[in-house]
Amino acid sequence: MSETAANGSALAGVKVIDLTRVLSGPYATQILADHGAEVIKVEPPLGDEVRDWGPPFHEDDASYFIGLNRNKRSIGIDLREDAGREILLRLLENADIVFENFKTGQMEKFGLGYEDDLKERFPKLIYCRISGYGADGPLGGFPGYDAVVQSAAGWFSVNGTTDSGPTRVGIPMVDMGTGLYSTIAMLMALHERERSGRGQFIDMTLYDCAVSLLHPYLANYLLSDKVPQITGNQHPNIAPYDKYPTKSGDIYIACGNNRQFRALCQVLGREELADDPRFKDNGDRSQNRDDLTDVLRQAMVNEDGEDLCARLLAKNVPAGAVNDIAQVMSHPHTEHRAMDARLDWYRGAGTPIKFSRTPGSLKTLPPKFGEHSREVLAAHDFSEDEIKSLMEDGTVVEERQR
């Protein structure tokens, strides 16, 4: 990541009050922070619980927290106290976005709900809420974590192998996908506000986002009325699109059209396969994928995987080794694409958003709990006496109360 002054960033001047915890919300606000938004992370006295989701740890903060909270400032506020809620209202006075993922109805109990409490007082405020299932409906109000929503939204049913049965997707993509959708939604709302001058409420749920990410299985079902089944490493609509063993390790090959399949056959010295009636077009290959898999596995089993991938890529056939995380982070292309971000002791994934004029940047380390409490209060015109009083009565917290 390049070091870029905040005023040269895409979101310079945007202020976000981040009340979110765990994954989807912090992931979204880190994207905003990477691109220059001022993000103030408001934590309860217990702190964001993922600070404890380790090992590994760095100075008592788990890697799970560290990976989601760079470029932010942290203040600890007890919103159960009237004085704590008053602090939040002062933080919101010049904020563009407030983002929360409390249990639905909690902000209303605090007297901080959008419709009844914030909409008129802060007419330009964009209020984004993430919940598991929303506030109403058959599942409304129930809690939702990534794996539970994966299960409820059908992800398990198409992931895994016939041996494993329905299986969780290892990467928490419901949470991360919801974070990405939420980022898009907030940027849309900011853009719309330029025309209308008005903020609005954004209702994001893990369930909605999980259903929206079911492609192509959902599209296949809606057109065919056939319930999709587990496909393992294969693609449900394309063949060959699978993992294959070689003498030096597994590789993955994806042929999306006849030209790529013909090039694959040429590289393997099996040109005749491209004219085999069973494999002539993608529809034929999909119908006869078991036969195709057997033939290709036999053709690759004695190949050197890295060399084969290089030859396939030279023919514009997508192919790559099945790498582990260590191999990914040591790969020269990871460095070339600035996807290994480092600052002091910190190391994380770089931003995948590559602007030509206003690149994202790694400016500050993930904050310790309450690290910026005094700084944030002072910046919002709290006097030294007010700050001292708020610290003494426990409304503002600098050390986690475990």
Q: Name the one residue in this structure whose structure tokens are 């598991």.
A: 132
Question: To the nearest 10°, the Cα dihedral for 326, 330, 332, 333?
Answer: 40
Question: Are 73 and 188 part of one and the same domain?
Answer: yes
Domain presence at residue 363: yes
Residues 53 and 182 in one domain: yes
Q: What is the mean pLDDT of residues 200-221?
A: 98
pLDDT, tens digit, 9 for 90 and up, residues 12-63: 999 999 999 999 999 999 999 999 999 999 999 999 999 999 999 999 999 9
Residues 232-250 have pLDDT tens digits of: 999 999 999 999 999 999 9
Residue 26 falls within a domain, yes or no?
yes
Q: Are residues 301 and 209 in the same domain?
A: no
Q: How many domains does the chain have?
A: 2
Regarding whether 92 and 15 lie in a shared domain, the answer is yes
Contact (CB, 8 A) for 369 and 399: yes
Each residue's pLDDT tens digit, 150-174: 999 999 999 999 999 999 999 999 9
pLDDT at residue 1 greater than cutoff 50: no
Q: Work out the burial of residue 307: count CB atoms within 10 Å of its CB; fewer than 13 is exposed, 13-18 middle, 19 or more buried.
A: exposed
What's the pLDDT score for residue 7? 56
Claim to verify: residue 125 and residue 179 sit in the same structural domain: yes
Is the same domain home to 326 and 341?
A: no
Find the CATH number of the domain harbouring 170. Answer: 3.40.50.10540
Given 330, 346, 368, the domain boundary residue is 330
Close Cβ partners of 29 (under 8 Å, ≥ 6 residues apart): 16, 18, 20, 37, 39, 41, 72, 99
Structural domain includes residue 115: yes
183, part of any domain: yes
Look at residue 70 in the predicted model and tell me its pLDDT.
98
Determine the pLDDT at residue 390: 97
Asked whether residue 195 is domain-assigned, the answer is yes
Same domain, 143 and 22: yes
Look up residue 361 and give its two tokens: 């940047």
Which of 34, 61, 96, 175 is the catalytic position? 175
95-149 residue pLDDT tens: 999 999 999 999 999 999 999 999 999 999 999 999 999 999 999 999 999 999 9
CB 95 within 8 A of CB 29: no
233 lies in some domain: no
**Domain-ending residue, one of 303, 330, 357:** 330
Residue 385 bears catalytic tag: no
**Residue 124 is part of which domain span?**
6-213+337-397
Judgement on whether residues 324 and 348 belong to the same structural domain of the protein: no
Has residue 234 been placed in a domain?
A: no
10 Å CB burial of residue 3 (0-12, 13-18, 19+) is exposed
Residue range 364-376: average pLDDT? 98
Q: Are 341 and 317 members of one domain? A: no
Please tell me whether residues 364 and 305 are part of one structural domain. no
Rounded to two decimals, the pTM is 0.94
- Taking residue 371's Cβ as centre, other Cβ atoms within 10 Å add up to 19
The 10s digit of each residue's pLDDT in 298-309 is: 999 999 999 999
Banded pLDDT at 4 (limits 50, 70, 90): very low
311 and 354 share one domain: no
Residue 6 has pLDDT above 50, yes or no: no
CATH number of domain containing 251? 3.30.1540.10
Query: pLDDT averaged over the chain?
Result: 96
Q: Does a structural domain hold residue 229?
A: no
CA distance 363 to 360: 9
Q: At which of 292, 315, 330 does a domain end?
A: 330
Mean pLDDT across the stretch 344-372?
Answer: 97
Residues 377, 255 share a domain: no
For 391-400, what is the mean pLDDT? 95
What percentage of residues in the chain have a pLDDT greater than 90? 98
